[in-house]
Amino acid sequence: MRKQPLQAKQGEVAFRKDLAQQHFRKKTVFHHEYSTSEMARVLREKMERCRQDFIRLRNLGITLSPFLEIGSGYGQAALLLADEFQAEGFASDIALDPLKEISRVAKTRKLSRLPRLLVFDAEAIPFPDNSLPFVFCYQTLHHFPHPLSVTREVHRVLSPNGVFFFAEEPVAQSFNLKLWYRPTKLRWWETMLKTMLILPFISRIGKTEVDHHIIEDAFTLKVWDQALEPFEIMETRLEPFPFGPAGSLEKRNPLNRIFLFFLGGGIRGIVRKKGREVRTSFPPLPRRQAGRFACPSCRNRPLLTNTKNGFRCPQCADVYPVKNNIPLLIRKQERTSLYG
């Protein structure tokens, strides 16, 4: 199974850095991506969708604390859990610059409690086995060649009976000529093609990301089945886009599959790690205290210890630095390529 190439990781870090400048400092870098005011609106809308998701998860009796969010970006989901749901946990991303804006988002939204922040690679999560009851992500898994490279790691770090929630991920559209990638904000001629209902069948979204060598993929239902194979499925939802009957991976709906074949769509899911539940908690530790961090470089994931310069692995002796009060828990070789 292929892993995310270094070039894609470098693209994520560089692109998210420039995009944060555009979203929060009114610096136009990409003409076809959201401006500062547009991103403020998008964040409000995303937070409301996240709020409804977390309310439903809570109503299902799912433990939301402590949590780990993968691919947090500006942290709107983790902020909600920390502030409105009084949960303890971590917001993480491979890109440092979006995480640096989380306090700004919190201030704008008048949120006082913040999650702890971490930089790491989702294919090497820096936590020991069986250590977290709740892991979630939005719009993240499709940035990898195969989602199983991430879901295997999620399964490893989940405690028995722990839950993984994911949403806003794409299902591949088989009927598409894939002539080009279109940007987030459509150009005038793309808008015309969209109005004529032609655009979704001849292009794919993600131009700016692909230009930065970021993976923008969509997976077949077979691949999603493989990615979720380690888990017990509680529920999934398959929604064709822009219209069509909903379905699920557990219950085959022929009409839903037909719409997905022609239109593609999105998938969200709630899955559980089998086993007897073990209650865990994260006390309010100083942000530089290692707590339960584990070495992402060593196969057996030994716990890290504190040093003057960051966190040290007692086995491989690598020291993971802290930048802007955010630990960079990435393997040394990749960390050097991404952050010097």
Each as own residue / partner, the long-range contacts of residues 198-204 (CB below 8 Å, 24 or more positions apart, any chain) are 200/173, 200/176, 200/241, 200/242, 200/263, 200/264, 201/175, 201/176, 201/177, 202/176, 202/177, 202/178, 203/176, 203/177, 203/178, 203/179, 204/176, 204/178, 204/180
Residue in 190, 186, 182, 187 with CA at minimum distance from that of residue 207: 182
Q: Which amino acid is at 277?
A: E
CB 205 within 8 A of CB 132: no
Is residue 1, in this structure, part of any structural domain at all? no
Strand-pair category, 310-312 with 305-307 = antiparallel
Look at 10-24, 89-103, 164-178, 264-278 and tell me which has the smallest mean pLDDT: 264-278
From CA 285, how far away is CA 238, in angstroms rounded?
A: 40
301 belongs to a structural domain: yes
Q: Does residue 78 surpass a pLDDT of 60?
A: yes
CA 25 centroid distance within chain = 24
Using CA atoms, how far apart are residues 278 and 134, in angstroms rounded to an integer? Answer: 12
Task: Convert the pLDDT of each residue in 52-65 to its tens digit.
Answer: 999 999 999 999 99
Whole-angstrom CA distances from 325 to 99, 178, 307 are: 11, 42, 14
pLDDT in tens, 107-134: 999 999 999 999 999 999 999 999 999 9
pLDDT tens digits for 178-195? Answer: 999 999 999 999 999 999
**pLDDT one-digit tens code per residue, 8-40:** 999 999 999 999 999 999 999 999 999 999 999
pLDDT at 279: 55
Residue 98, preceding peptide bond in cis (omega within 30° of 0): no
Amino acid 285: pLDDT: 41
pLDDT of residue 278: 52
Question: What does the pLDDT average to over 198-220?
Answer: 96
From CA 36, how far away is CA 54, in angstroms rounded?
27
Residue 194 lies in a domain: no
- C-alpha dihedral sign at 164, 216, 168, 171: negative
Residue 190 placed within a domain? no
pLDDT band at 275 (very low <50, low <70, confident <90, very high): confident
Helix (H, G, I), strand (E, B) or coil at 219: strand
- What's the average model confidence in pLDDT over 250-263? 94
Spatial strand order in the sheet of 326-327 = 305-307, 310-312, 319-323, 326-327
Helices and strands counted in the chain (H then E):
11, 13
Whole-angstrom Cα distance, residue 185 to residue 180? 15
Q: Is the pLDDT of residue 311 over 90?
A: yes
Determine, yes or no, domain membership for 158.
yes
In-domain check, residue 203: no
Number of domains in the chain: 1
Residue 178 covered by a domain: no
Report yes or no on 180 lying in a domain: no
| 51: pLDDT strictly greater than 70 | yes
Pairing between strand 180-182 and 158-171? unpaired
CATH number, domain of 24, equals 3.40.50.150
* Domain region containing 140: 6-173+209-339
Looking at residue 145, the DSSP 8-state letter turns out to be S
Residue 70 has pLDDT above 90, yes or no: yes
Give the mean pLDDT of the chain.
94
| Arithmetic mean of pLDDT, 297-308 | 94
Q: Quote the pLDDT of residue 1.
A: 78
Quote the pLDDT of residue 340.
87
| pLDDT tens-digit readout, 226-249 | 999 999 999 999 999 999 999 999
**What band does 284 get if pLDDT is binned at 50, 70 and 90?**
very low
Give the whole-number percent of the chain exceeding pLDDT 70: 95
- What is the rounded average pLDDT of the residues 35-51? 97
